[in-house]
């Protein structure tokens, strides 16, 4: 089975490496950045350079516009996909964009799996991502060997493209609010004279814990703002949340408020830094002293 | 060692039962409600009825005013505490109230441990609560046999009364925001056509999970609004959060927003229901159909 992995960023690279280790799969990476191609090995600069007869294209680019371009643009992968091949799209986007991409794939006789993931860099590297997917039975069947190599669990969200993405948007509501809440709580504790490490130890053994608190506040305690996931990503993803919620006529006051905090962090020049450093908004507003400035 | 447990609600009853099982401790419960006294057995209606010579008073009433009354009011326990006995106060209150209670205890020659807990009804019943305590070395030493019987871990937040309570208030910021965020995400998913149980299964295996999401959304899926912890508690606790943050000159936009949602739930007549049913605010605003109405 020939598999193209399009977008060799943190997530795509982890997926590509796990696929390359899997017997029976012949993997080609696609990335415009020479350093990413060198790091992976068997890779080309764009979809037009792919060998013919690919059976699956796994897409890990950053948004819907890039996914459309990577598959159906002038240098897209579509002409090199075999008849009945599957497009497995893991980029986070709106449900409407996922449905539109699925329609484009179907018009070309291709299968489409709407397949966002959770698990971050660690999950991608270890082949232990969580996949929340929707699509036809054929799309699931064709994708199975690929998903097995990159994930610990595949949730079947239904037959209609868009449901996987809907689930991912709901997930990102929680992820974004939890990161901002973790920063808000850490900032309040530090300002009120609680030691940061002690606060971390209490919360992570108590009912106030979240996956994001445990993961991201460790970055703050270490003073490490190297972006595992950047502030800009949550400006984008919380925009997807508020857009989808408005379309559903459902208010999301916490997600809307969390977005303002990530926007503030971006306004402070922190857009490219690790998302945990949204805490610098409170540092700026209230004079909080961070553990390692 | 004679121990009085004041307030035989869910938390106090669990603590009292674990203390009563511990060799070397002679436990008397204190509660104005006859049914609570009957349920525990060895109990009196108020502090004035306690046997003399109590070595510790463990206080699990609902707020600072009740704690002051229970210890130092006209029918309070203080006259029946032995010289050098310790008041272990686990009620959630403001740091200023904790410091004032500690000063009252010290004026009577009593020790004081500012000792809020986390772990909920399950932690209390199993003797596995998390304690975040502050006070003098003598207060910690005198409290040790009591805390050992009711908790899995005691965090030492420092020597000054108020630091334990400060940590609890920070913890409640996370707890309150996480419950409201869980409800907001579940409401959005349901409105957008995601099955509630599938949404729960995805989130609880992914990076969007929180202790509160996992615990409280199970109540929503079961349609069980029996209050393990009530909406009213989070109106109170998030008021403590916003009051303390204002005193520290630190904005808490997420906690402030979460409080408005619990206030809305109380306004809808849900104040006495399980806090997870803050989701009824979205049901009312946006016509969400809950899994079990």
Give DSSP secondary structure letters for A24-52: T-EEEEE-S-HHHHHHHSSEESSGGGSPS
CB contacts of A254 in chain B (<8 Å) are 177, 180-181, 184, 254, 257-258, 261
Residue A30 belongs to domain with CATH number: 3.40.50.720
Interchain contact, A250 vs B288, CB within 8 Å: yes
Structure-derived torsion over alpha carbons of residues B222, A169, B265, A281, reported in degrees to the nearest 10? 130
Same domain, A145 and A188: no
Mean pLDDT to the nearest integer, B178-185:
98
pLDDT value of residue B232: 97
The count of other CB atoms within 10 Å of the CB of residue B212 is 24
Q: Which of A168, A191, A228, A236 is catalytic?
A: A168
Residues of chain A with pLDDT under 70: none
Query: In angstroms, what separates the C-alpha of A42 from chain B's closest C-alpha?
Result: 31
Considering only CB atoms, A257 lies closest to which of B95, B198, B254, namely B254
State the pLDDT confidence band at B93, using cuts at 50, 70 and 90.
very high
Among B109, B128, B159, where does a domain finish?
B159
Residues pairing with A26 in the sheet:
A2
Cα distance between residue A206 and residue B119, in whole Å: 6
End residue of a domain, out of B131, B159, B187: B159
A184 to chain B: which residues are within 8 Å by CB? 173, 177, 252-255
Q: What is the distance in angstroms between the Cα of B245 and the nearest Cα belonging to chain A?
A: 7
B176/B257 same-domain check: yes
Q: How many Å lie between the alpha carbon of A94 and the closest alpha carbon of chain B? A: 12
What confidence tens digit (pLDDT) does each residue in B32-76 have? Answer: 999 999 999 999 999 999 999 999 999 999 999 999 999 999 999
Residue A174 to residue B213, Cβ atoms within 8 A: yes
Interchain contact, B250 vs A208, CB within 8 Å: no
What is the predicted pLDDT for the residue at A282? 98
CA-nearest residue to A155 within chain B is: B202
Residues A171, B258: C-beta atoms closer than 8 Å: no
- A168 as an active site residue: the answer is yes
Give residue B292's pLDDT. 85
Together in a domain, A19 and A152: yes
Nearest CA to A94 out of A246, A250, A212 is that of A246
Q: How many CB pairs under 8 A join A and B?
A: 228
* pLDDT at site B62: 92
Q: What pLDDT does A228 receive?
A: 86
Query: CA of B59, closest CA in chain A: separation in Å?
Result: 20
Which residues in chain B are contacts of A237 at CB distance < 8 A? none
Does B157 sit within 8 Å of A177, measured CB to CB?
Answer: no
Domains held by chain B: number: 2
Rounded CA Rg of chain B: 20
Return the residue in A90, A164, A178, A278 with the most chain B beta carbons within 10 A, the one to mutate for interface testing. A178
Q: Which DSSP letter does residue A279 get? A: G
Q: How far apart are CA B109 and CA A49, in angstroms?
A: 83
Across the interface, do A185 and B191 touch by the CB < 8 Å criterion?
Answer: no
Determine whether the interchain pair B170/A95 forms a contact, defined as Cβ–Cβ distance below 8 Å: no
User: Does residue B127 sit in the same domain as residue B193?
Assistant: no
CATH number of the domain to which A251 belongs? 1.10.1040.10
Give me the residue label for tokens 């009620």.
B91
Using the 8-state DSSP alphabet, how is residue B279 labeled? Answer: H
User: Exposed, middle or buried: residue A248 (CB in 10 Å: 0-12, 13-18, 19+)?
Assistant: buried
Of A171, A181, A254, the CB nearest to B208: A171
C-alpha distances out from residue B281 to A185, B257, B289, Å = 24, 13, 12
Which residues of B are identified as catalytic?
A: 168
Q: Which chain A residues touch B198 with a CB distance below 8 Å?
A: 155, 157, 167
**Cα distance between residue A113 and residue A86, in whole Å:** 7
Query: How large is the ipTM?
Result: 0.94
Q: CA B198, CA A120: separation in Å to the nearest integer?
A: 21
Looking at the structure, tell me whether residues A116 and A224 fall in a common domain.
Answer: no
3-state secondary structure of A135: strand
| Structure token digits, residue B7 | 């307030």
Q: Min CA distance, A34 vs chain B (Å)?
A: 31
What is the pTM assigned to this prediction? 0.94
Chain A residues with CB inside 8 Å of B157's CB? Answer: 194, 198
One domain, residues B133 and B246: no
Yes or no, beta carbons of B241 and A188 under 8 Å apart = yes
Contact B193 A163 (CB under 8 A): yes
For residue A171, which residues of chain B lie inside 8 Å, CB to CB? 185, 202-203, 206-208
- For the stretch B17-26, contacts whose Cβ atoms lie closer than 8 Å and that sit 24 or more positions apart, written own/partner, are B17/B125, B18/B126, B18/B127, B18/B149, B18/B150, B19/B58, B19/B146, B19/B149, B19/B150, B21/B149, B22/B145, B22/B148, B22/B149, B24/B145, B25/B1, B25/B145, B25/B146, B25/B149, B26/B1, B26/B2
B242-278 pLDDT tens trace: 999 999 999 999 999 999 999 999 999 999 999 999 9
Nearest to B150 by CA among B278, B242, B14: B14
Of A106, A140, A159, the residue that ends a domain is A159
Helix (H, G, I), strand (E, B) or coil at A210: strand
Does residue B225 share a domain with residue B196?
yes
Q: What is the pLDDT of residues B148-166, one digit of tens each?
A: 999 999 999 999 999 999 9
Average pLDDT taken over every residue of chain A: 97
Do A191 and A145 sit in the same domain of this protein?
no
A64-93: burial string, b at 16+ Cβ within 10 Å, e else: bebbbbbbbbeebbbebbeeebbbbbbbbb
- B132: in domain: yes
Same domain, A94 and A178: no
B142 and B48 in one domain? yes
Range of the domain at B219: 166-286
Mutate: best of A90, A201, A202, partner B, most B CBs <10 A: A202
Task: Please give the Cα distance from A8 to A32 (Å, whole number).
Answer: 9
Residue B292 lies in a domain: no
Are B253 and A184 inside 8 Å of each other by CB?
Answer: yes
- Tens of pLDDT, residue by residue over A97-118, are 999 999 999 999 999 999 999 9
């Amino acid at each position: 089975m020939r598999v193209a992995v399009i977008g060799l960023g943190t997530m795509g690279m982890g997926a590509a490496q796990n696929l390359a280790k899997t017997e029976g799969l012949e993997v080609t990476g696609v990335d415009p950045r020479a350093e990413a191609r060198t790091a992976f090995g068997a890779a080309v600069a764009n979809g037009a350079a792919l060998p013919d007869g690919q059976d699956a294209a796994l897409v890990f680019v950053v948004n819907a516009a890039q996914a459309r371009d990577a598959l159906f643009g002038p240098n897209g992968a579509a002409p090199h996909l075999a008849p009945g091949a599957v497009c497995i799209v893991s980029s986070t986007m709106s449900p409407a964009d996922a449905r539109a991409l699925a329609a484009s794939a179907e018009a070309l006789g291709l299968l489409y799996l709407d397949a966002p993931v959770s698990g971050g860099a660690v999950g991608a590297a270890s082949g232990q991502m969580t996949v929340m997917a929707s699509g036809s039975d054929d799309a699931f069947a064709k994708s199975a060997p690929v998903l097995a190599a990159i994930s610990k669990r595949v949730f079947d969200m239904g037959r209609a493209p868009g449901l996987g993405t809907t689930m991912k948007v709901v997930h990102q509501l929680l992820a974004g609010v939890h990161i901002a809440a973790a920063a808000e709580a850490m900032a309040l504790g530090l300002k009120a004279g609680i030691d940061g490490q002690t606060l971390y130890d209490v919360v992570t053994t108590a009912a106030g814990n979240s996956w994001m608190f445990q993961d991201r506040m460790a970055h703050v305690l270490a003073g490490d703002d190297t972006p595992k996931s950047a502030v800009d990503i949550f400006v984008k993803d919380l925009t997807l949340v508020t857009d989808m919620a408005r379309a559903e006529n459902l208010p999301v006051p916490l997600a809307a408020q969390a977005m303002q905090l990530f926007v503030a962090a971006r306004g402070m020049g922190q857009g490219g830094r690790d998302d945990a450093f949204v805490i610098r908004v409170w540092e700026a507003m209230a004079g909080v002293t961070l553990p390692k400035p």
